[in-house]
Amino acid sequence: MKNRIETFRGSEHFRLNHIADSVIAAIAIPGTGSLGNAAIIDLGDTTVVVDTFSTIQAAEDLKAAAEYLTGNPVSYVINTHWHSDHTSGNQVFIPTAQIISTSTTREIMDSFSRDRLTKYKENMDQMYQAIDELEEQIQQETDEKLKREMAWENASDREFMKMLPNLVHSLPTITFDQLMTIHGSNRSIQLITFGGGHTQSDAIVYIPEDKIAVTGDLVLSKHHPVLTHANPQEWLNILEQVELLDVETIVPGHGEVCSLHELHEVKGYITNIMKIVTEAVQSNRSIDEIEVPKEYHDWYFTTYFKTNLSKVHAMITKLED
């Protein structure tokens, strides 16, 4: 696939990163319709795509890239978890491809995320208003890094809104509960779930022969992990299971292709957040004044630091009730 990358027409939504003969990462370009990363896996006679970005347009480019690079239609699409920046492009691959997720992920997509999408479509005026308000906040923001990130978020939101009327909520057609293997003529890949950490159910794609894992948002590279729907302790347990696999290269859910080093950083981050909040609760201090620790100053998704603190705070104080 490597030499075909140079002749691919390209996409404004992602950069292609060749990491093995069988695996190419599609790394999201901030502020476009991608938001999350995706991957293209060539099993020889079978082409697999992992995650489908945040918009139809980005997914159409992903499909074009996968077909061009592998010379085959996309047979399987894997959704690592239900979040919309990993699943919104599903419709582009239907009906040629089967869409695969864990059964829990499909259940959530068939209930919570379906209802949320309906609400989005009914409240587009309000959503545009929120986007306009964010734009005003951006003008006033003095921190350059934060300002850039907010501008990316704003641009991504606008891309999402543009395609929202055309979005057809497209559910996985095949589900699994622990392990599933797809066998191709050159490669086999394993779809594995160790339960839910980042969301209620997270899957990874493991390519043993190349020592590669496509982890969805269980691992982010130089981005604040997102704990909004997380179970932090389970997340740590899951990452320990991933460490037991023979993995050298990781395609993370956001950020550049990385290694176990970044997986360890995510573990450190989750542990830190839990420690910071626990200490604040024990000494009766508010979490509002807590600043982003120095080691995360160059990480993106800065605004998630506060929401992560609140999430863990709510969990801890609820436990104590």
Judged by CB under 5 A, the stretch of 43-51, 166-174, 209-217, 258-266 that binds Zn ion is 209-217
Q: ∠ at Cα 15 (137, 238), nearest 5°?
A: 80
- Cα–Cα distance between 81 and 7 in angstroms, integer? 32
Q: How far is CA 111 from the centre of its chain?
A: 20
Q: Which is nearer to Zn ion, 217 or 265 (CB)?
A: 217
Taking residues 42 to 81 in sequence order and writing x for each that binds Zn ion by CB under 5 A, - otherwise, the string is: ----------------------------------------
Tell me the closest approach of the beta carbon of residue 204 to Zn ion, in angstroms.
13
Question: In this complex, which beta carbon is closest to Zn ion, that of residue 20 or of residue 58?
Answer: 58
What type of residue sits at position 118?
T
CB of 100 to Zn ion, least distance (A): 17
Pinpoint the alpha helices (H) of 101-218: 103-110, 112-122, 124-140, 144-163
- What amino acid occupies position 125? D
Sheet holding 212-216: strands in order across? Answer: 179-183, 188-193, 203-207, 212-216, 249-252
| Nearest approach, Cβ of residue 86 and Zn ion (Å) | 6
Which residue of 51, 60, 149, 217 would you call a contact of Zn ion, by CB under 5 A?
A: 217
Q: How far is the CB of 115 from Zn ion (least distance, A)?
A: 18
Cα separation of 106 and 100, whole Å? 9
**Residue 83 makes contact with Zn ion by CB under 5 A:** yes
Stretch that binds Zn ion, among 120-128, 152-160, 214-222, 281-289 (CB under 5 A): 214-222
> Considering the complex, what minimum distance in angstroms separates the CB of residue 198 from Zn ion?
6
In the complex, the smallest distance separating the C-beta of residue 282 from Zn ion, rounded to whole angstroms, is 30
- Tell me which residue has tokens 């999402």: 160
Cα 114 to Cα 131: distance, rounded to the nearest angstrom: 22
224 binds Zn ion (CB under 5 A): no
How many residues of this chain bind Zn ion (CB under 5 A)?
A: 2
For residues 149 and 217, which CB has a smaller minimum distance to Zn ion in the complex?
A: 217
Give SS3 for 213. strand
Question: Between residues 108 and 277, which has the closer beta carbon with respect to Zn ion?
Answer: 108
Which single residue brings its beta carbon nearest to Zn ion?
83
CB nearer to Zn ion: pick between 42 and 217? 217
Question: Are 304 and 224 contacting, i.e. CB atoms less than 8 angstroms apart?
Answer: yes
Closer to Zn ion at the Cβ: 84 or 91? 84
- Amino acid residing at 54: S
For residues 84 and 181, what is the distance between their CA atoms, to the nearest angstrom? 25
Q: Where do contacts with Zn ion occur on this chain (CB under 5 A)? A: 83, 217
